[in-house]
A and B are shown apart, each in its own frame.
Chain A
Amino acid sequence: MRRAAALAMISWLFLAVLAGLSCRSPKGSLPEPTRDKHAPFNYIGTKGMVVAAQPLAAAAGLDMLKRGGNAVDAAVATAFALNAAEPFASGLGGGGFMVIYVARTKKVTIVNFREKAPAAATPTMFTEKGERQDEWRQERGTAVGVPGMLAGWNYALKKYGTRSLTQAAAWAIEIAETGFPVSATFSQIDKDEYEKLLKNAGEGSRYLNGGIPFEPGEVFKNPELAATLRLICAKGPDEFYKGEIAKKIVAAVRAKDGIMTLEDLAAYQPVEADPIKGTYRGYTIYTLPPPGTGGLHIIQLLNVAEGWPLKKWGPATPASIHHLSEAMRFIFADKDRYDGDPDFVSIPIGLLTSKDYAQEIRNRIGADRVAGQYSTAKSDPVQEKKENTTHVGVIDEEGNIVALTQSINDFFGTGIVPEGTGFLLNDHMADFSTDPDSPNAPRPNRRPVSNMGPLIMFKDGKPFLSLGSPGGPRIFPSLVQIIINIVDFGMSLDEAIEAPRFFTYSSGGKARPIAVEPRISKATLQALEKLGHKITLKDPYDKYFGGAQGLMILRGGKLIHGGADSRRDGVGAGY
């Protein structure tokens, strides 16, 4: 009797435990409710503000501002920090452009530190590789342009900053040594580029965790990058361009069949240039001249848009999307025809940025049809896949502003890491044309055309907006949409950044589909299809359309709004 009771007791106990274990067996749990990262949010500052694509980098810039550094010091500190914290988008192995507004003199200037082709480059260096030319343009040593990043940062600091390279690099060193938990964005990009990293950086690379891409939350450290930065701080930029680091860069490039030499690195110099200027409904825009052609086409597209009643049409309506899409297609035809390095090629900037020429384009756009033919001599394939690059915006207490866009081109660049240095080499040679007869064909010492377009916009002579974005060929269409959202549709800065985007272009004179974020209503998309457009759906917040960062200066500079794109990990940091 007692035995039976004991057996029954054991059995019931067992069943209870079993039931408990069964409940623990694989079963999904609902995610914790979190703040919607896409909800428009304007960061607020009254003295200064930094916006960047990674929180640690923005914090580095803010700290520099709080310690008395100016906007250029903070921009360079942020840029260095991005090499450690967002290494897949920019770094020492790349290049970029900086738009600087000096409040004291009320002047805008451009620092161009875009990569250059090695002296041995030829117009046919890629086409002669036949069907495998994409690999030679993106993943082999031939893809690497001579990096301008460090020279550009150093130039800007020396001429417009107040701090040393060592002071600007301090946060980057700390981030690289201490490490940080990677974000979902970092993890996804690491996975997307895994094949390239395995091939060029190797299974033991810092950019992989035990030979596998990082999962969100795993800690990424880069002590080799920290050591490289310490070496540069101790010996100066010449260590990068003429010293031991230069030797490692050339060795890594040539080991992958590249053509760069020590002489190419030693000869690299950034250049300072005047901005190009445009106007839009009473605002004045200063942005990059070629080879940063994003700026040129921003002004061109705004000129065309100025002739239309966009405010009446409203945002994301069939009329506004149709007209702007057609304008983008005509401008891409011009882009194919004219874009190149202005040091070597004549570009009709005056014509392309004139209001008369914008009227000519408007005249060719019908309200109720797709033109279907967009005159162009030749056509470069638009690099659809590009989502990379990064943008930093800074304003300091004196009102100095920096809009800085920098890149290693594709995410993780070539995936080539010079031995023991921890930084990635760019694949910006891929930005040269595939057509050997193009003004943008690779030639010795030329800078490839860039889509970047950091800008500063003024109202009544006072800074109002600073803006920039990654996104390859989507940069100028995305930045124009943000400006229109603010100026015509009255959106706040971050509302304008988060609003649904679209993009199209022409290729070989023919219309390409309009890529849209599906937050644009189905009725609008159906109306566009009726007009003859083809539609391609992207993700609702797709980094295909870039990751814009902006600053808006309000109340005579007493209030600063920062907007940072949730399509990446953008944040603002103000005080």
Chain B
Amino acid sequence: MRERRAMKLFIICGILAASFLSAQAPQPIFEQPLLITSAGQSSGDAQIALQLAKKAGLTAVLSKMAEGKDLESRKTLVLVLGASMKGMGSAGLDANKEKERIRELLAEAKRKNVPVLAMHLGGEQRRGELTDEIIGEFLPAAKMAVILKTGNADGLFTKICRGKNIPLIEVDKSLDAVEPLKNIFKRSSSY
């Protein structure tokens, strides 16, 4: 009797171990090609995302002002979160117009079943009232998030991702995001 109970416990542990390990190693859930855009016109951060995607061997385009039609033939939308007043000024946008652009883009992505990968690559410096509003509104639409650890010092990303069951990958520096990107994207021979 006792042996049977111990065996049951052992089996449960095995199941837990398998699920734990699978949760730790990111699974390839996204497909190529990627459309990258910034939510908040932090164009430097979006450019970094493009460069990281290239280093990960992914096929990607960057569009600062991406709209729904740009999702044609794209299988993943990468939303680089971060507000830049300078960037919005250059693009001739204010915060409301930029948020509206992203809302429309996400609505179209949902309609087309294009999954969203959220990234935050500006670290602590790319946090602030407007960026936090953008994170709060748009991060929940993501299927996964890859962020610089320094941008999550107050646990904002952790809190939102836990609440919405969004897998969160934290990296120490931007270049460290290359390996996770390789892992979460399916290899594609057609691109």
Closest to A539 in B: B128
B72 at the interface (CB under 8 A from A): no
Contact present for A8 and B126 (CB under 8 Å): no
A523 at the interface (CB under 8 A from B): no
Interface residue SS majority, chain B: helix
Contact present for A191 and B153 (CB under 8 Å): no
A435 at the interface (CB under 8 A from B): no
Contact present for B122 and A11 (CB under 8 Å): no
Assembled-state Cα–Cα distance A203/B48 (Å)? 11
Contact present for A194 and B47 (CB under 8 Å): yes
Assembled-state Cα–Cα distance A120/B43 (Å)? 34
B86 at the interface (CB under 8 A from A): yes
- Shortest B183–chain A CB gap in Å is 15
Closest to B62 in A: A195
* Contacting residue for B153 out of A30, A218, A539, CB 8 A: A30
A211 at the interface (CB under 8 A from B): yes
Assembled-state Cα–Cα distance A93/B38 (Å)? 32
Contact present for B13 and A192 (CB under 8 Å): no
| Residues A7 and B52 in contact in the complex (CB < 8 Å), given A26-B158, A26-B169 | no
Closest to A193 in B: B44
Contact present for A26 and B126 (CB under 8 Å): no
Chain A residues bordering chain B, tally (CB within 8 A): 46
| B42 surroundings in chain A (CB, below 8 A) | 191-192
Contact present for B48 and A191 (CB under 8 Å): yes
- Shortest A376–chain B CB gap in Å is 22
| Residues A30 and B154 in contact in the complex (CB < 8 Å), given A1-B2, A14-B17, A18-B17 | yes
Chain B residues bordering chain A, tally (CB within 8 A): 52
- Shortest B13–chain A CB gap in Å is 5
| B126 surroundings in chain A (CB, below 8 A) | 188, 191
Closest to B45 in A: A191
Contact present for B154 and A31 (CB under 8 Å): yes
Contact present for B173 and A215 (CB under 8 Å): yes
| Residues A211 and B152 in contact in the complex (CB < 8 Å), given A192-B86, A218-B173 | no
B65 at the interface (CB under 8 A from A): no
A187 at the interface (CB under 8 A from B): yes
CB within 8 Å of A: which B28-86 residues: 42-45, 47-48, 51-52, 55, 84-86
| A387 surroundings in chain B (CB, below 8 A) | 86
Contact present for B157 and A28 (CB under 8 Å): yes
| A539 surroundings in chain B (CB, below 8 A) | 85, 128
- Shortest B188–chain A CB gap in Å is 23
Assembled-state Cα–Cα distance A218/B155 (Å)? 23
Contact with A along B138-176 (1 / 0, CB 8 A): 000000000010101111111100000000111011110
CB within 8 Å of A: which B1-39 residues: 2-3, 5-7, 9-10, 12-13, 16-17, 20, 24
* Contacting residue for B123 out of A10, A194, A215, A384, CB 8 A: A215
Assembled-state Cα–Cα distance A18/B21 (Å)? 10
**Residues of B in contact with A (beta carbons under 8 Å apart):** 2-3, 5-7, 9-10, 12-13, 16-17, 20, 24, 42-45, 47-48, 51-52, 55, 84-87, 89-90, 121-126, 128, 148, 150, 152-159, 168-170, 172-175
Query: 17 A-B Cβ contacts within 8 A?
Result: A3-B6, A8-B6, A14-B17, A15-B13, A15-B16, A28-B152, A28-B154, A191-B125, A195-B47, A211-B55, A212-B51, A212-B52, A212-B174, A218-B173, A385-B89, A539-B85, A539-B128
**Residues of A in contact with B (beta carbons under 8 Å apart):** 1, 3-5, 7-8, 10-11, 14-15, 18, 21-22, 25-31, 184-185, 187-188, 190-195, 198, 203, 209-213, 215-216, 218, 384-385, 387, 538-539, 544
